[in-house]
Chains A and B, each alone.
Chain A
Amino acid sequence: MMRHIIAVLMENESGALSRVVGLFSQRNFNIETLNVAPTEDPTLSRLTVTTIGSDQVIEQITKQLNKLIEVVKLVDLTEGDHITRELMLVKIKAMGQRREEVKRLVDIFRGQIIDLTNRTYTVQMVGDQQKLDAFIEIVGEAYVMEVVRSGVCGIARSDKTLSI
């Protein structure tokens, strides 16, 4: 069982996303994270899904995705060198001595405070999943008020591209 990151280019049409999501539930495949947005070509959307499964299951997932009429192209990024990033917005309790401590942690993790009140910081952070997990852990559950994560975005290293 391995985590795979599958990037999918599909027609930017209504209903296309529901087909992808529906496929995962119909066929009992697992979705860990999912994100989708239009690309520089407005007729195409790019979807990134992270999933966990045996080689046989991953093979089925890619074949079944390819079968969807609106899917133009896809690649399992984990088959080659690749980079992943995730965006996180996190609202943290920051009062008294804690205020300075949190600020220092944000700097160490190269995050940014993008909003603040007398009692809270809202932090923006970009990184791979492990980095974001580590930040939450070190800030401490007791201080974390709200977390929003975008899900994983991925791209292949080198000059390889997923395009039509």
Chain B
Amino acid sequence: MELLSGADMLVRSLQNENVKYVYGYPGGAVLHIYDALFRQDKIKHILVRHEQAATHMADAYARASGIPGVVLVTSGPGATNAVTGIATAFMDSIPMVAICGQVAHNMIGEDAFQETDMMGVSRPVVKHNMSIKHPSEIPMAVKKAFYLATTGRPGPVVIDVPKDMTTPTDKFKYEYPAEIRIRSYNPPSRGHSGQIKKAVELMLMASRPIILVGGGVIGGQASAELTQLAQKLNFPVTTTLMGLGGYPATDQQCLGMPGMHGSYEANMALHHSDLILNIGARFDDRVTNATEKFCPTAQIIHVDIDASSISKTIAADIPIVGPAMLVLKDMLTLLAKYKQQPNTQMLTTWWQQINQWRNRHGGRYEVSGGSAIKPQQVIETLYEVTRGEAYICSDVGQHQMFAAQYYKFDKPNRWINSGGLGTMGFGFPAAMGVKLNFPDAEVVCVTGEGSFQMNLQELSTCSQFDLPVKIVNLNNQSLGMVRQWQDMNYESRHSQSYMQSLPDFVKLVEAYGHVAIKVERMEDMKPAMEAALAMHDRLVFLDIYVDPKEHVYPMLVPKASMRDMWLSKTEKV
């Protein structure tokens, strides 16, 4: 058997996990590991300009592919800079393996240089973390990290590696474990058949059903089964922010997104439904509005791989703990056996009602005319010129909601955004992570001038590693979502939501060797976008000046039910 140092074992273990890229930033505590990386060529290291970007790149790769990305950072500030990205992945149940350096084990607790208790700091925002106590533990720790990150409800796993665990001269036998079993960890393998049967019977009797699709359908790779079930039953479908693409958005049965900025028809249908089939959504407060007023007439079937997501905020009538894909398959099998069909007559009436809501076009923006650009028009144009096939990596704010509302995702894994944590600065590194791994795909970052400035240093990384992403900056010269809340709740006192001293983005982007185009008039927007997309091998930044006064609608009225919405600045229902 081979003898390897801890550093070489770590790198070899990553190779054994078929890791292609590691996103990171070197520093004192991880120098042995960086040396081990240097002495091999199977894994390529992507040097970011800030550790947060490394985590978002790894995270976005997982969102697009289902395979966890790997982050490598040093101790202390390297690790704490990564925390935002780890928390982002945690909130959205995204698998990730983050390897964090640590001071030598005999110095832990002595406030050594660049020491942070990363085990303690990361504990609330990881699925699990572990500290290496002996170099020979490293292969099993890596195996365990990948296993935990990807099974059950996925999430980030941190491995804390004290520097002396990687000392080049301390060598141990290396063997990568073929299997792993953890006696205290048994993720659910299937849903309970009795519960599934009850659920199917309820579905067949429902007169006003609706399917609520969450991120669990994307992460659980269940969109094919879900689509089949929804179409077999002819039930309306609403996809949460994390579930976009889980059901084809252009299909007639799709009502769009529910919740705070959900579509009028999706919110109305939920509120009036008599059955909600929730697959992999966690009834987040941005979906439910006031929980005590949530969908008063609905019975709830809740399918989730994580038992603690069920009846956490909204009590479920039929809880089903299991992986979305297998539960849906079991439902389909059962449906095929049943003679009984869904209640067609009732469903027809229900669809008539839904179509009435739909035809109202509630919350749709008004075209201003002239040269002014509405942000929604930018997204619609982007959808048109990319034929709906791009990976859209969004930042956080109004532009995120516009992208979610107006870009119609027909496929899963194409919508990459920070839903749970709402991390500004996510979009650009996310786009880089997707582009690196899917070089032939069109990858667009939709951002705003606020979010973009939180990670713009990565323009440099894009030059170094040739990452020709396209950046659509909806520049409204203000923190749009903050401003909107201030307009609605604080009598338009725009406290700190105005972005003074904006840089000249064109010069800024050009300084990094990329292409930038400033767009101020409606008639220039589409040609500029087409020109940008035609430059396949260049990073192009489109600085698009949009109407700064625009709000996102619909918007749920605070502390009310799901049917209580603002549809425009003046229209409330």
Q: Which A residues are within 8 Å of any B CB, using their own CB?
A: 10-11, 14-15, 18-19, 22, 26, 56, 59-60, 63-64, 66-67, 69-72, 164
Contacts and interface: CB of A to CB of B under 8 A. Distances in A.
A70 B184 contact: yes
Contacts of B124: 22, 26
Contact of A18 (B123, B128, B182, B311): B123
Given A22-B123, A164-B183, A15 B131 contact: yes
B182 A69 contact: yes
Contact of A10 (B119, B182, B184, B315): B184
Interface residues of B, number: 19
B307 A63 contact: yes
A102 to B, nearest CB: 44
B520 interface: no
Contact of B119 (A15, A56, A60, A164): A15
Contacts of A72: 183-184
Contacts of B308: 60, 63-64, 66-67
B191 to A, nearest CB: 16
A65 B30 CA distance: 33
Interface string B128-156: 11010000000000000000100000000
B526 to A, nearest CB: 48
B184 A11 contact: yes
Q: What are the nearest 10 A-B pairs in CB distance?
A: A63-B308, A72-B184, A69-B128, A26-B124, A63-B307, A64-B308, A69-B185, A22-B123, A67-B308, A70-B184
Nearest to B152: A67
Contacts of A26: 124
Contacts of A56: 311, 315
B120 interface: yes
B185 to A, nearest CB: 5
19 contacts: A10-B184, A14-B131, A15-B119, A15-B129, A15-B131, A22-B123, A22-B124, A26-B124, A60-B308, A63-B307, A64-B308, A67-B306, A69-B127, A69-B182, A69-B184, A69-B185, A72-B183, A72-B184, A164-B183
Contacts of B311: 56, 59
A11 B185 CA distance: 11
B493 interface: no
B312 interface: yes
A-side interface mostly: helix
B399 to A, nearest CB: 31
Nearest to A22: B123
A22 B128 CA distance: 13
A71 B186 CA distance: 11
Contacts of B182: 69
Given A15-B131, A59-B311, 14 more contacts: A10-B184, A15-B119, A18-B120, A18-B123, A19-B123, A56-B311, A56-B315, A60-B312, A64-B308, A66-B308, A67-B306, A69-B148, A69-B185, A72-B184
Contacts of A14: 131
Nearest to B308: A63
A69 B120 CA distance: 16
Contacts of A60: 308, 312
Given A15-B131, A60-B308, A60-B312, A71 B184 contact: yes
Nearest to A65: B308
Nearest to B309: A63
Interface string B351-383: 000000000000000000000000000000000
Contacts of B129: 15
A26 B122 CA distance: 12
Contacts of B183: 72, 164
Interface string B178-191: 00001111000000
Interface string B315-327: 1000000000000
A19 B182 CA distance: 17
Nearest to A9: B184
Nearest to B321: A63
Nearest to B315: A56
A18 B128 CA distance: 12
Contacts of A59: 311
B152 to A, nearest CB: 9
A22 to B, nearest CB: 6
Contacts of A71: 184
A69 B151 CA distance: 12
Q: Name the residue among A19, A26, A60, A63 with the largest chain B CB count within 10 angstroms.
A: A63
Contacts of B306: 67
Contacts of B123: 15, 18-19, 22
Given A10-B184, A72-B183, A66 B119 contact: no
A71 B308 CA distance: 15
Contacts of A69: 127-128, 148, 182, 184-185
A56 B313 CA distance: 9
Interface string B153-197: 000000000000000000000000000001111000000000000
A25 to B, nearest CB: 9
A26 B183 CA distance: 26
A94 B182 CA distance: 55
A19 B185 CA distance: 15
Nearest to B307: A63
Nearest to A25: B124
B436 to A, nearest CB: 30
A14 B308 CA distance: 25
Contacts of A11: 184
Interface in B280-335: 306-308, 311-312, 315
A63 B161 CA distance: 30
Interface in B227-241: none
B307 A66 contact: yes
Nearest to B182: A69
A10 to B, nearest CB: 7
B96 to A, nearest CB: 16
A13 B148 CA distance: 17
Contacts of A22: 123-124
Q: Name the residue among A15, A22, A26, A64 with the largest chain B CB count within 10 angstroms.
A: A15
A66 B148 CA distance: 15
A19 B124 CA distance: 8
Contacts of B312: 60
A39 to B, nearest CB: 14
